[in-house]
């Protein structure tokens, strides 16, 4: 679990993206967001969800860097919000035992 949190902590993204995501993380709703982002029916645990979200985020970041026409900053922020929200949940679980 801590390795996953280490991966999240090691992400380096433009400050504007991170700030936008931080504004949204308090309103993060995993039941509304994860099925849409991960295309899943059953809700995954936080660890596997973070890993899948990080894969999606890496693809979005590659598109951002390449200045791809299909890049969506709104989707990128939404995925970052989900990563931060899931990391927050995982930290709470590992802290509370």
pLDDT in tens, 14-65: 999 999 999 999 999 999 999 999 998 888 998 899 999 999 999 999 999 9
Cα–Cα distance measured from residue 81 to residue 28, given in angstroms and rounded to the nearest whole number: 7
How far apart (Å, rounded) are the C-alpha atoms in residues 57 and 77? 9
Instruction: For residues 4 and 2, give the distance between their C-alpha atoms in angstroms, rounded to a whole number.
Output: 5
pTM greater than 0.75 (yes/no): yes
Distance CA 83, CA 9 (A): 10
Look up the domain containing 41 and give its range. Answer: 2-96
pLDDT at 96: 63
Say whether pLDDT at 72 is over 50: yes
* Domains of the chain: total: 1
């Amino acid at each position: 679990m801590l390795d996953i949190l280490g991966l999240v902590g090691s992400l380096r993204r433009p400050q504007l993206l991170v700030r936008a995501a931080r504004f949204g993380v308090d309103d993060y709703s995993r039941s509304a967001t994860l099925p849409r982002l991960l295309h899943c029916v059953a809700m995954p645990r936080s660890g596997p969800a973070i890993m899948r979200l990080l894969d999606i985020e890496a693809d979005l970041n590659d598109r951002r860097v390449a200045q791809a026409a299909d890049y969506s900053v709104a989707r990128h922020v939404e995925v970052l919000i989900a990563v931060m929200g899931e990391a927050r949940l995982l930290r709470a679980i590992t802290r509370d035992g």
